[in-house]
Structures are given as C-alpha cells and as structure tokens.
Amino acid sequence: MTNSTSTKNIRPADILRKKRFGGELNESEIRAFVRGVVDGSFADYQISALLMAICIHGMSDRETLALTLAMAHSGDMLDLRRIPGVKADKHSSGGVGDTTSLILVPLVACCGVRMAKMSGRGLGFTGGTLDKLEAIPGMRVEMDIASFERQVTDIGCAIIGQTAELAPADKVLYALRDVTETVDCLPLIVSSILSKKIAAGCDVVVLDVKTGSGAIMPTLEDSKKLARTMVRIGNLSGKRFSALITDMDQPLGNYIGNALEVEEAIDVLAGRTGGDLRDVSLQLGARILTGAGAAATVEQGVEMLAAKIDSGEGLRKFAEMIRAQGGDPRVTEDTSLLPKAKSTVELRAGEPGYLSAIRTADVGSAARLLGAGRERKSDVIDPAVGIVMHKRVGDRVRRNELLATLHVGERSDRIGAYNLLQRALKIGPDPVSRPTLIHDVIEAEDA
C-alpha cells in the first residue's frame, strides 16, 4: 500500500464515502483516520459512521494490518530490547474462572523465557487479571516502564496494567464501538487486541481464544475465524503469534471471583489441584516455550512446566513476583491471608441426574451480582466474593448434593445471584460427554 499521500490532506468525508461503497482503504487513509481519532480532528459521528461501514463491508488483510499498526503506533511503542532474551506475552479473549496468567507467567519465567505481561481489568461477566492480582494484600499493578523492564530483567516476569499512552486510539474506538453495536466486528476486534500487544513490544504472543456460552465468540466457527485472522495479522506484523481455541461452555476453573481465583492459582502451582485450569495453563505455556525456542516440542514444554510445579519453583517464582510488586508473598503459603467473604450460601441440587450444561456467561453474571465484577469501568469490586463450583459438566448429581457455594458480602445481591446461578446449571436424566477442552491450535502456517 502506498504512503505517498500526506495524511493531512485526506478529508474524513473522502474516507467515509470510499468505505461506504465497499472500497478498500489504503494505508495513508487508515493512518489519517487513526490520527483523527487521537487528535480529535474526526468527530465522534464521523468515527461512528466509519465503524459501521467497516462492520458492514469488512476489511481486507491489508486494511486490517494497516489499522492494527496505525493503532499500535498511535501512542507509545515499548522497546524491550534492553531486556535480554526472548520476551513473551499471552492474551485471552475473556472468560469465566480463567486464571491461566497467574499460573503460566511464573512457570514460563522459571524456564528462562521472560514474561513481560500487560493485562486489563474485568468488565461484564469476564474477570480481569489485574483485579485478581489486586486481591493480594499490597499488590501493585501500576508501574512505570523503567521499573517494569527492571523487574522482568531481574526476576523474569511482571504483570502490570497497560499504560494510558499505549494504543490510545483503541480506547476511543472501543468506547464508540460499545454504543454503536460494532463490538463483534472481526477486523475491529483483531485490530483492538493486536494493536496493544504489538505496542507492548514482546517477541512471542500466544492467544487463548475462547469459544462457547461464556465467550465473545459463542460458535466454534467464529472462534476459529477470529483466531486465524489474529495469528495471520499478528505474524504479518513481524511478531510470532499462535493461538489455542479453548472451551468456555463451563468455567475454566472451579473458583470464580478475584481472591478465590488467586487461591485456585496458588493451589495449582502448589500441586494441590489439577483439572482443566492446569491443563490449559500448561498448553498455553508450552507454546510460549516452543515459540521462544526454549522447548523443541509442545510435549517437552508441558513436561518442563509440570516439573516446575513438582519442584515448587513455580510457586516460589510467583511469590517472588508478588514481593517485587509490593504484595504479601506469604499468601502463597497461607491462602487464609487473602480477603474472605462475610458469609456463604449453598446451592444444592433439587433432583438427581447429571449436570448436562452450564450457561457460563450467567455464572459470570451471578458473580458480578455478588460484587466480583463490574458493569461499568467505574464500579468498585469486592475482592472477597464469588462462587465455588463443586460439579463439572458430565458429573453425576444426587438429590440435595452441593452444586456451588456463593461467597457473599454486605453489598451482594445474593438473591439475584442465587436465582441466576440456579438457572445456569442444567440437570438432566441421561449421562453426557464432558466438553472438549482444546478445540483447535492455530499456528502461523495454519493461518
């Protein structure tokens, strides 16, 4: 695509007219659009009109790559070359009970690959990594870039919030996408996610694309399309991207809520619990190791990470990261130091049978009603509240058997959460198969 046209001479109306009739925008036009988003020279109604035109007509790979790179360059571009070795990151498209970052970041760091991770906060039914970390007493997730680089260099890992200067165009565009019903537009999703990951400066990025009732893409076909597009565009940018498509037809872990999810992550790192959360964490981490050249195969990567759990190194590294970011590392040895809810409410089965289905989004929404999540970015969360699931899809259930425990606080809508959770769990008379955990793997050559 040509760069010959000065972006200053391109009028918003020209870009709008071209895309309105299904034309392909060139790089100069896209850069002019992103510049106008950031400096305010494009009005909100013009931006909204273009977003809708993109949603209707789509974008080619060339357009999506140009939009991704323009958004990435709309603010600070982190240069992590001062940190020795390969730098890696992981991104999840959002889920319920998904605490993989707290598990794989210290484990991968123990294997010699530096994890320079920037994360976000939860919104709606999706939990945020930063909210979970802040449930640890004293834990800081805001850090200047020099301190971030120093910590990653010294101990091999850090998880912090994204700086305000990182891909500022995305903040404006996402706010308008939210009110114009263009959130689910594929090229806009891709450019939003990848622009921040490219600006963050890592060499290797593994994507965890969720599919199912608790995912942004509820169908497997749509999830595969999103994963392939992100891997394809990500690798065109010069970074090493790959993706797993993982199941969200039930919560990934059994604990939903911020302090509760930290507790479950600690239990996994300590080797006290396994299951789907551990398995997905090891698979994602193994692909980071192979992408970084630290493992020859995924199988070898899984073995390396599992060994760090068995030896206790992973848990010690997590404690080291907590200490470095001002938190109390004693929580890794004594989870009673984490915030605890005032009381609990039990949800029991009314009839025998088999747990045949879980509406995962409703489980996440029930946790939000308890105070574990937020509807708006300004909402204050309660780190102690949440839900502990005692059954998985496919499990046999006896009458009056415990299905879930709600951890409630003073501000919790316990009745609303209980009723929503009760409706989310379906019990049937016949046995059902357990959901497939990993539906597909997308490497660069597949995309």
Catalytic residue selected from 92, 192, 242, 412: 192
Catalytic residue selected from 35, 87, 132, 177: 177
Report the DSSP pairing between strands 204-211 and 114-119.
unpaired
Q: Measured between alpha carbons, how far is 411 from 371 in angstroms, rounded to an integer?
A: 7
Report the DSSP pairing between strands 204-211 and 87-92.
parallel
- Indicate the burial class of 405 (C-beta count within 10 angstroms; 0-12, 13-18, 19 or more): middle
Catalytic residue selected from 35, 196, 224, 308: 196
Take residue 358 and report the two structure tokens written for it.
Answer: 């879980």
Write phi, then psi, for 241 (nearest 5 degrees).
Answer: -110, 145
Q: Which helix (H) or strand (E) holds 296?
A: none
Write phi, then psi, for 428 (nearest 5 degrees).
Answer: -120, 170
Catalytic residue selected from 19, 35, 87, 91: 91
Q: What is each CA distance from 25 to 3, 22, 184, in whole angstroms?
A: 12, 9, 21
* CB-based contact 91:195 (threshold 8 Å): no
Helix axes 44-57, 168-179, angle to 10 degrees: 80
In terms of Cα–Cα distance, which of 189, 168, 182 is closest to 64? 189
Length reported for the chain: 447
* CB-based contact 275:247 (threshold 8 Å): no
Those residues whose C-beta lies under 8 Å from the C-beta of residue 325, and which sit 6 or more positions away, are 133, 139, 140, 141, 143, 151, 158, 159, 160
* CB-based contact 143:151 (threshold 8 Å): yes
First and final CA of the chain: distance in angstroms? 22
Q: What angle do CA 253, 258, 263 make, to 5 degrees?
A: 60
Does 177 participate in catalysis according to the annotation?
Answer: yes
Partners of 402 in beta bridges: 348
Report the DSSP pairing between strands 87-92 and 114-119.
parallel
Does 170 participate in catalysis according to the annotation?
Answer: yes
Does 91 participate in catalysis according to the annotation?
Answer: yes
In terms of Cα–Cα distance, which of 320, 404, 312 is closest to 362? 404
Helix axes 313-324, 298-310, angle to 10 degrees: 80
Q: Measured between alpha carbons, how far is 128 from 27 in angstroms, rounded to an integer?
A: 34
Catalytic residue selected from 89, 98, 131, 170: 170
Residues labelled as active-site residues: 91, 170, 177, 192, 196
